[in-house]
Amino acid sequence: MLNNKTVVIVGAGPAGLTAALELLNKTGVKPVVFESSNQVGGISKTVNYKGNRIDIGGHRFFSKSDVVMDWWNEVLPLQDRGISSTVINYHNNSKQLSLNTKFTYSNNGNVMLIRRRQSRIYYDGKFFDYPLTLNVRTLRNLGLSKLCLAGISYAKALMFPRKPEVSLEDFLINRFGDNLYKTFFKEYTEKVWGVPCDQISAEWGAQRIKGLSVHKVLTHALKSSMSFLKSQDYQQKNIETSLIEQFLYPKYGPGQLWERVAETIREKGGEIHLNTPVVSWNNKQKIIKSVTVLDKKTNKKTIHKADYFISSVAIKNLVTNFNGNPVPLQVKKIATSLEYRDFITVGVLIGKINKQTKLSVGGRLVDDNWIYIQEPGLKVGRVQIFNNWSPALVKNPKNIWLGLEYFVNEGDDLWLMKDSQIKKFAINELQKLEFVQQKDVIDSVVVRVKKAYPGYFGAYRDFDVVQRYLDKYQNLFLVGRNGMHRYNNQDHSMLTAMRAVYNIINGVLDKKNIWDINTEEDYHEIKNI
């Protein structure tokens, strides 16, 4: 059916690379991928700084989709060496681990590790489990009076829920009560997005934390305290994503998997062109005829025709670069007004763990993958501890490798700072948190990412107008986070690409099944991809 057909894919992140490999595996069609940057993986890339690797945003390889879990396993099998000791360690920490028999194992460096998940909230100078857990530490940190107020507030939310749920504030208060919302959600969320929660669409909560609530947290806490109720399923299908206790992780960070995918695509005959942005989408009526790309090395432009186009680039850029039939003014106005949140990671290398800091427990490093920072007056949103993602991310095992995450807008004060100023600012905040001491810092680096998070506010309220217009282009398929202006996880982005390929193979013109990804209640096993 696809004999002699061509497919152009724009963007070499998880969605674009998944689409390319799926086309090669299922059709034999040669995909041509254009990527504007010098590296594959999008926001899931791994940045290598002097042998110390940065995972931008932190990527847990976990999905309730068997299709995705198997796909990852095909690219990077589980590491077999040390599996038995890993199991013992999990049992020692009261964690159950059972490996699904369909996983294969490998001894080389191209492997997945099994990692324990732990993240906490740092609030009022104390650590709280995330998600919140009703344990001795929480009771001690909050105090009886605050806990009672939280309970009363939650009961009130159950009896008198906010309806309709219009804003993210409505969504969170309905599930946690006003007291817990203001204590643990409001400030951090507004730090992430830069706007009040009552101005963010409830759709963000429905997509990111749709199954999380006080009820789910308490139920999970009860099961976790009773070994006979614990899930024996490694894939943890019956557990909310925010509550999972373990996950897969590439030994050298998420970029390792996507670099391996890119290698496979090239080995199978596909093309990937880096440093080659699309500068024009040549449209006629309801068809994309071709794209014009710019080779940054030669500064030459070339036109590439294709039968199908798969795009994961930001919709703002896509619509702006349409060249042919004019885009309706309303569509163009909404698309160009869509807002994004940009991202800065400051990597800070520490010589050794300092027993006088709060990252030390009995002289050893805390177990957290990341720590949410809720302290008033500090701009840092999260602190990643890359040692706990994978020891291989740190060149010298004696060092501590941290990533401070800042959520910004391109052009604001922090973004416009010189790298040297940002480093100094970040290290100062680490000291205020009592996480490190200046004398222990031996190196640092700044990594900036534009359009990291699509915004669910402002022009987004009219996004359906843009969606309907773009869906009318029969041979254009939007996939991924920025391609759909949707805060998708990595697995969701991959599933959108798989469905786009399915539609191309089967001649499906309706794009609804792609937009349904991450809105479905159950995607444990997605058939008819």
pLDDT higher than 90, residue 233:
no
Residue listed under structure tokens 């006003």: 178
pLDDT at 87: 35
Spatial neighbors of 260 by CB under 8 A, at least 6 apart, are 75, 76, 110
Residue that the structure tokens 């969320």 belong to:
189
Cα separation, 493 vs 220, whole angstroms: 27
- For the cut 60, the answer to whether the pLDDT of residue 474 exceeds it is yes
Q: How far is CA 156 from the centre of its chain?
A: 33
Would you state the structure tokens that stand for residue 281, as one six-digit string? 């989408």
Task: Flag the least confident range among 79-88, 312-321, 496-505.
Answer: 79-88
pLDDT in tens, 81-109: 444 333 323 333 333 334 443 556 777 78
Q: Which residue has the higher pLDDT, 184 or 16?
A: 16
pLDDT at residue 524 tops 70: no
State percent of the chain over pLDDT 90: 67
pLDDT digits (tens, 9 = 90+) for 141-151: 888 888 888 88
| Average pLDDT score over residue span 170-189 | 87
pLDDT of residue 134: 63
Q: H-type helices in 77-193, by residue range?
A: 83-92, 136-142, 144-159, 168-180, 186-193
Overall average pLDDT of the 35-54 stretch: 97
pLDDT of residue 244: 55
Structure tokens at 249: 């992780």
- Give the residue-averaged pLDDT of 448-468: 95
State pLDDT tens for residues 381-434: 999 999 999 999 999 999 999 999 999 999 999 999 999 999 999 999 999 999
- For residue 416, what pLDDT is reported? 97
Q: What is the mean pLDDT of residues 219-244?
A: 46
- Is the CA virtual torsion 427, 430, 432, 435 positive or negative? negative
Q: Which residues, at least 6 apart from 225, have a Cβ–Cβ distance to it below 8 Å? A: none
Residue 527 pLDDT: 47
pLDDT tens across 317-365, in order?
A: 999 999 988 999 999 999 999 999 999 999 999 999 999 999 999 899 9
Q: What's the pLDDT at 186?
A: 87
Of 1, 2, 94, 6, the closest CA to residue 289 belongs to 6
Contact criterion met (CB below 8 Å) for 463 and 338: yes
CB 47 within 8 A of CB 20: no
The arithmetic mean of pLDDT across residues 484-498, rounded, is 95
pLDDT at position 285 is 87
d(CA 354, CA 364): 9
- What's the pTM value of the predicted model, to 2 decimals? 0.86
pLDDT of residue 84: 38
68-72, 220-224, 473-477: least confidently modelled range: 220-224
Q: Supply the mean pLDDT for the chain.
A: 87
Q: What mean pLDDT is predicted for residues 291-315? A: 97
pLDDT of 379 strictly over 90 = yes
pLDDT score of 212 more than 60: no
Best CA proximity match to 401, nearest among 375, 436, 453, 376? 436
Phi, psi of 336 (to 5 degrees): -75, -15
Residue 371 confidence (pLDDT) above 50 = yes
Cβ atoms 397, 391 nearer than 8 A: yes
Q: Which residues pair with 309 in a beta bridge?
A: 8, 476
d(CA 71, CA 75): 7
**Which pLDDT does position 102 carry in this prediction?**
52
Give the H or E element holding residue 495: helix 490-506
